[in-house]
Amino acid sequence: MSGKASVFRVVAVLILATVACTNGDRAAPVPRATKQGDCASPASTDAVAAAPGNHRVLLENDRVRVLEITVAPGEREPVHAHCLPGVSYDLYAGKYREYDAKGNLVSEVKESPPESQFPMTSWGEPVAPHAVENLDTRPMHSLRIELKQ
C-alpha cells in the first residue's frame, strides 16, 4: 500500500471512530466549545478563513471538520485559531517556532524529531490565535479532525 493510501486509510478510521462516539461513550465531559459560535476568537481568525493557504477542508459535516495542514519550509503561516477540540495526525513536523497573536515567540523546537516518531497522533483542545514558522527543510504536514459535538 502506498504511503498516501495508508495515510488516508488511517484518517478514515479516525473519522469513523470519532463520529461513532456519543456522549455516553466518553468518560467525563470536558467543558469546551461545541460550535464555532462558542469560540472566544472572532470568526475571521478561523484557520480556514485566516490561513487558507495552509488549511484545506477535506471533509465537513455537522459533527466533524477534517483539515489538511501544510507549512512549507521557511514559511510562517498567518495568525489563526482552532476553536474546536480534536485529534491531530502529524505526518511530519520538524524544527519550528510558534508565535502568539501579537507575534511573541511562545515555543520553539530546535531539533527535528526522529523520523521513526511519525506519524504521530495527539489530542488537542481549542487553540488561541497563533502562527507557526517552519524552520525545517521539509514541509510540516498534519491532519486535524475537529469535533463539533
Tell me which architecture the domain covering 3-25+34-147 has in CATH.
Answer: Sandwich (2.60)
Q: What's the one-letter identity of residue 122?
A: S
Q: How far apart are CA 139 and CA 71, in angstroms?
A: 6
Q: What is the pLDDT along the chain (149 residues), one digit of tens a residue?
A: 555 555 555 555 454 444 444 333 333 333 333 344 457 788 899 999 999 999 999 999 999 999 999 999 999 999 999 999 999 999 999 999 999 999 999 999 999 999 999 999 999 999 999 999 999 999 999 999 999 98
36: left (phi over 0), alpha (psi -120 to 50) or beta: alpha
Q: What is the pTM of this model?
A: 0.76
